[in-house]
Structure 1
Amino acid sequence: MMNDRLQEMGAAIIRQSSSQTNKYAGDGTTTSALIAANIFELGQSYVSAGHNPIYLTRGLKEARNKILEYLEEIKTTEIDDQLLYNVAKVSCNYDENLTNIVFKAIKEIGINGIVTIEPGGTESIIQIQQGVQILRGFMHEKFADKGTTKCILHYPFILTSKEPILQIKQILPILELIKNTSSPLFIIASDISEEVMSQLLYNHTKDILKVCAITIPGMGQSFSNDLIDDFSILCNSQSVDNIQTVKQLSQLGRAVKIEVTNTETMIIGTQPNEQEVENRKYLITNQQESAKNYNIQTLKERLARFDGRTAIIYIGGKSEIEMHENRDKLVDSLNATKSTLKNGVLPGGGTALLHASKLLDYLSIDVQYQLGVQLLQQTLRQPIKQLCRNAGINDGQIIKALLEENDYNIGFDQRRSCIGNMIDLGVIDSFAVVKHSLLDGISLGSMLLSTEAAVVLDKTYTPTALDKYKKEAF
């Protein structure tokens, strides 16, 4: 927290822009902040010299569109294992152990797999388990554990019911069975009434029985039932049409852990029957052959769920500070590798933006907007300048040499202090990271340039006490 309220406001705006980049790309927060800061700082000097900020921002946006087209053209979408490993390595800050963990996680569970991160010992390790992700969350925020936005159930029993649960008496015998075990209960049902939900919530908040529930509504009862049957097989739970037939705990599923938020559920460490899984996959595959177009994607998603596994990463460190630092690097790397598989990669270390800046020499635009184009051109060269400065290297000579190169993959590797092909050298950026850093940085910089005033709360002001005011007549 800064002492100056105006400075604090500026810092908060930069943080918000970086958070936006992280939300959509999973990394690139520093680049986003650097772009925004440079646009504002350099742009402000233009405004002070009498130039119109509206023309500047218009020029910025015209140039931005050209740059995005270029980046789309030069990105690499054929991702082999070595390329993926290098992306993980760069985002992990070249930590070999964390890089191997991220690479194993992505290779084992795939791009849509579930990854959870938990505190560990002095060393970071990874475990691969069966996992299920459901894009449905709890029905009331009070199911969340105190002080959090999640409900976490350890070693719960799982009830999967195609029968709507409309009265509490339907599940009362099951609640009594569970209560005697001191284990939590997780319910997946086609529908749950408000009355039942209130009773479950009362038991949960009063610590009588830790319980959480989600519903699986669908496009018709048949679709909902199909999904519940899928989840029952994955959780090794009996899918019931009549809840009263559940007499024993063996009819319920089990998991190592379940995490539920208001939007999704992650079931970790289930032990499904392999033969039932194969039979179900065979059934869904056959359904695809006769399905209509709008159903094919749904069937593909259902089929993919049966291949779903989860990676549990126990993050280590010799101190709490190191553990937090390792966690941040791990999250950045996981996001970057997933983004790479989805969107492709670009040469890293500021190389793609530097070569893109050369295009703006040839951009045809009204003269009144030209200064905005020049502003973006100089800003695009800022990331590689900053990397050179961080390494104590003269950036002028490096940038001059690179601007003369025709190969857009040629950049400067500051770790090796050499110019070369960045893809071959393993210095790579996710396309989505570069794209969103650019978009968010320009958006924020443009907004700041066109802002004429800021309103801040003056914490030094003390209002006059009510009894000190003079009486006035109107």
Structure 2
Amino acid sequence: MNAMDLRRGITMAVDAVVTNLKSRARMISTSEEIAQVGTISANGEREIGELIAKAMEKVGKEGVITIHDGKTLYNELEVVEGMKLDRGYISPYFITNQKNQKCELEDPLILVHEKKISNLTAVVRVLELALKRQRPLLIVAEDVESEALATLILNKLRAGIKVCAIKAPGFGENRKANMQDLAVLTGGDLITEELGMDLEKVNLDMLGTCKKVTISKDDTVILDGAGDKKSIEERCEQIRSAIENSTSDYDKEKLQERLAKLSGGVAVLKIGGASEAEVGEKKDRVTDALNATKAAVEEGIVPGGGVALLYAAKELEKLSTANFDQKIGVQIIQNALKTPVHTIAANAGVEGAVVVGKLLEQDNTDLGYDAAKGEYVDMVKSGIIDPLKVIRTALVDAASVSSLMTTTEAIVVELPKEEKEAPGGMGGMGGMGGMDY
């Protein structure tokens, strides 16, 4: 068998299925539809689905939603004024929470500097201010490198100082404007050479602050900035005026992004529970549900329960291939597309092959098997739906890896460690003669 033709057949089939799924996807807009997606992704917990729907209603579908530990037994929604920057930490050495690979700073001092910071003396002054006040430090600059970066990392690792540095988002004038927005939001100053400001002469009044900053490798969320409300509103009005006067679509788009970041809030989902283990498990489910819901809003939904893939398998029968090996590749995908429905039915104690066969005879591509009720129902009307993006990504990624394996001659793997056998019982205690049971 020609491995390359087999791979071409798999790729051809996946492309056809993705096209079919996109043509059948439906965009969602109502809170009820959003809640349905969140509920299914949270293993059927309606409360989580409704919580996510409320959060999206508060901050908009493009808004920022974060997940934190709650302090009660119940889940709560809180909307906090904040800003999200699409830049993460410069170095992973700044991470404070190894579990989620994030740097979390409570009540930090925030330095916003327009230019690059590279020499040692440039960061010593601001580090001294943070140490004196016993507070974490966040540095936002065009870049932090060389001696300056090394100094921050050493202070984090050896002295235990909570510090983090991120690059300012944007480029050119847009970056400077973003930094000015951040300075206004946090109640600090933009340290710039144009105004004769020097890092070595920075004082506490020039630094901003906020309630909390969470930094991942990709983005930064600043919660509850300490900036003056009147100054923030004046800044928003300046941006609105610039939007009205702008003739460039690109400039308008960037201005609208800035306005959303400055005036929009951050929805905080506070997950409660009776124990740390329960809260951790619920947070994982909420995270999965939130990601699935965002995916559904972005690309739409398809009937759930595996039926979207099952009906797409019928379309592959019409696909023409160049040779037998490509046909085998298509058949591999066809068989794989039937597996989700087959498995769901089998797990519910029903013969999977019978359910698959009956559904393939139907013309209504929304019809599926509700394993919870043991009935054939309209999946969309019953609220059993899947985000297209989740289904599409799973199929494309699985096909990519499996087809790569067909053209791979060797794989480097790590051998599993041989575990030693558990020690036996105490010598001489093998049995106790003379005792009847």
Question: CA 1:59–1:269 in 2, change beyond 3 Å: closer, same or farther?
Answer: same
Q: Does 1:151 align with 2:138?
A: no
- SS for the counterpart of 1:376 is helix
Please, which of 349, 356, 378 is the counterpart of residue 392 of structure 1? Answer: 349
- SS for the counterpart of 2:386 is strand
Match of 1:237, as an amino acid?
Answer: G
Question: CA 1:375–1:151 in 2, change beyond 3 Å: closer, same or farther?
Answer: closer
Please, which of 218, 228, 233 is the counterpart of residue 184 of structure 2? Answer: 233
For residues 123-146 of structure 1, the C-alpha deviation after alignment (integer angstroms, 9 at most, x for no partner) is 433332122222233344433338
Alignment partners' CA distance in 1, 2:233 and 2:94: 34
Higher relative contact order (CA 8 A, sep 6+): 1
Aligned positions of 1:347-426 closer than 5 A: 347-368=303-324, 369-426=326-383
- What is the aligned partner in structure 1 of residue 136 from structure 2? 184
- What is the aligned partner in structure 1 of residue 225 from structure 2? 270
**Offset, 1:412:** 1.7
Aligned positions of 1:254-403 closer than 5 A: 254-288=209-243, 289-368=245-324, 369-403=326-360
* Mean Cα deviation higher: 58-67 or 260-269: 260-269
Match of 1:292, as an amino acid?
Answer: S
**Offset, 1:454:** 5.5
- What is the aligned partner in structure 2 of residue 101 from structure 1? 51
Asked if 1 retains the 8 angstrom alpha-carbon contact of 2:307 and 2:368, the reply is yes
Match of 1:133, as an amino acid?
Answer: K
TM-score, structure 2 as length reference: 0.82
Match of 2:388, as an amino acid?
Answer: F
* Mean Cα deviation higher: 430-439 or 363-372: 363-372
Alignment partners' CA distance in 2, 1:84 and 1:460: 45
TM-score, structure 1 as length reference: 0.76
For residues 228-285 of structure 1, the C-alpha deviation after alignment (integer angstroms, 9 at most, x for no partner) is 1111122232334425798764543221211234443221232443333332223223
Question: CA 1:279–1:290 in 2, change beyond 3 Å: closer, same or farther?
Answer: same
- What is the aligned partner in structure 1 of residue 22 from structure 2? 72
Percent identity of paired positions between Structure 1 and Structure 2: 30
**Offset, 1:119:** 3.7
Alignment partners' CA distance in 1, 2:235 and 2:329: 59
Alignment partners' CA distance in 1, 2:28 and 2:258: 27
**Offset, 1:449:** 4.5
Please, which of 396, 401, 404 is the counterpart of residue 444 of structure 1? Answer: 401
Alignment partners' CA distance in 1, 2:178 and 2:283: 34
Question: CA 1:392–1:452 in 2, change beyond 3 Å: closer, same or farther?
Answer: farther
Asked if 1 retains the 8 angstrom alpha-carbon contact of 2:34 and 2:49, the reply is no
Question: CA 1:440–1:236 in 2, change beyond 3 Å: closer, same or farther?
Answer: same
Asked if 1 retains the 8 angstrom alpha-carbon contact of 2:13 and 2:330, the reply is yes
Across the two proteins, how many residue pairs are aligned to each other?
410
For residues 7-36 of structure 1, the C-alpha deviation after alignment (integer angstroms, 9 at most, x for no partner) is xxxxxxxxxxxxxxxxxxxxxxxxxxxxxx
**Offset, 1:439:** 0.9
Alignment partners' CA distance in 2, 1:382 and 1:97: 30
Question: CA 1:146–1:102 in 2, change beyond 3 Å: closer, same or farther?
Answer: closer
Gaps of 5+ in 2: 419-437
For residues 177-230 of structure 1, the C-alpha deviation after alignment (integer angstroms, 9 at most, x for no partner) is 43332112222234556444444444433427533333437543x433212111
- SS for the counterpart of 2:270 is strand
Question: CA 1:94–1:234 in 2, change beyond 3 Å: closer, same or farther?
Answer: same
**Offset, 1:66:** 1.4
- What is the aligned partner in structure 2 of residue 61 from structure 1? 11
Alignment partners' CA distance in 1, 2:131 and 2:58: 37
- What is the aligned partner in structure 2 of residue 4 from structure 1? none
Match of 1:358, as an amino acid?
Answer: K
- SS for the counterpart of 1:306 is helix
- SS for the counterpart of 2:49 is helix
**Offset, 1:335:** 0.5
Question: CA 1:90–1:243 in 2, change beyond 3 Å: closer, same or farther?
Answer: same
- What is the aligned partner in structure 1 of residue 40 from structure 2? 90
For residues 352-406 of structure 1, the C-alpha deviation after alignment (integer angstroms, 9 at most, x for no partner) is 1111111122222235133332332222111111111111123344333322222
Asked if 2 retains the 8 angstrom alpha-carbon contact of 1:174 and 1:246, the reply is no
- What is the aligned partner in structure 2 of residue 116 from structure 1? 66
Asked if 2 retains the 8 angstrom alpha-carbon contact of 1:75 and 1:346, the reply is yes
- What is the aligned partner in structure 2 of residue 130 from structure 1? 81
